[in-house]
Amino acid sequence: MTRLVLASSSPRRRDLLARIGVEPARIVSPDIDEAPRMRELPRAYALRLAEEKARAVPRAADEAVLAGDTTIALGRRILPPALTEDIQRELLRALSGRRHHALSAVCAIAPDGTARTRLADTIVAFKPLSAAEINAYVACGEGLGKAGGYAIQGRAEAFVRFLHGSHSGVVGLPLFETRALLAASGIAFA
């Protein structure tokens, strides 16, 4: 029986896996450099990070590793995580009234070492945000540290006027793509 190692420090990814009946045997936080490379495009960046995270975690012969990365892109620009409230305000102003892409990449490495990746590209459109709405959202604290400066599973969902794609992918793990990769890697579902 193949055991799953989740290569993630995100509690949301573990919660999302539980929705499809998967409980990781181990959770290990990968340590990689997440800086974008010169002229790296958002899709390539998200896929590279997911695979690097998966490869950074040691696994036993009976284990599969799963890793993911969610990148927020505005055009060809990779938006950083909101490490400070000032950065978060800047990100929310940039997203206000515009469409952006939430690119959620997943990589699974099977016990035989085969790596498979998938990408969910979700288009998210925010309503125009007032300065007061941005300040109130920043004050609540939920988007701090998050890609693009928001958490769609919280208060920011009220900013979304349109979403086309995977809601779970925007949260942090596209479940349709993840289930297919895990099945191909020998993971059984409850």
Rounded to the nearest integer, the mean pLDDT of the chain is 96
What pLDDT does 33 receive? Answer: 95
69 is catalytic: yes
8 Å CB contact between 159 and 140: no
Q: Structural domain of residue 76, as residue ranges?
A: 3-184
pLDDT for position 1: 86
Residue 190 belongs to some domain of the structure = no
Would you say residue 118 has pLDDT above 90?
A: yes
Q: What share of residues in the chain are helix, strand, coil (percent, to 5)?
A: 35, 30, 40
Does 167 have pLDDT greater than 80? yes
Please report the pLDDT score of residue 22 as a whole number.
95
Read off the pLDDT band of 189 (50, 70, 90). Answer: confident
| CATH number, position 131 | 3.90.950.10
Look at the chain and report how many structural domains it folds into.
1
| Confidence (pLDDT) at 190 | 66
Please report which helix (H) or strand (E) contains residue 11, including its range.
Answer: helix 11-19
Share of the chain above pLDDT 70, in %: 99
Kindly state whether residue 100 falls inside one of the protein's structural domains.
yes
Whole-number Å distance between alpha carbons of 29 and 36: 19
- Does an H or E element contain 110, and which? none
Does a structural domain hold residue 91? yes
Task: Tell whether 189 is covered by a domain.
Answer: no
Q: Which whole number is the average pLDDT over 29-56?
A: 97
- Whether residue 78 is contained in a domain is answered as yes
Q: Is residue 99 a part of any domain in this protein?
A: yes
Rounded CA separation 90/38 (Å): 22
Work out the burial of residue 79: count CB atoms within 10 Å of its CB; fewer than 13 is exposed, 13-18 middle, 19 or more buried.
Answer: buried
pLDDT at 136: 98
Please determine, for residue 90, whether its predicted confidence score (pLDDT) is greater than 90. yes
**pLDDT tens profile 46-84:** 999 999 999 999 999 999 999 999 999 999 999 999 999
Q: How far apart are CA 149 and CA 82, in angstroms?
A: 5
Catalytic annotation, pick one of 15, 62, 69, 86: 69
Q: What is the pLDDT of residue 123?
A: 98
Q: Give 115's strand partners.
A: 109
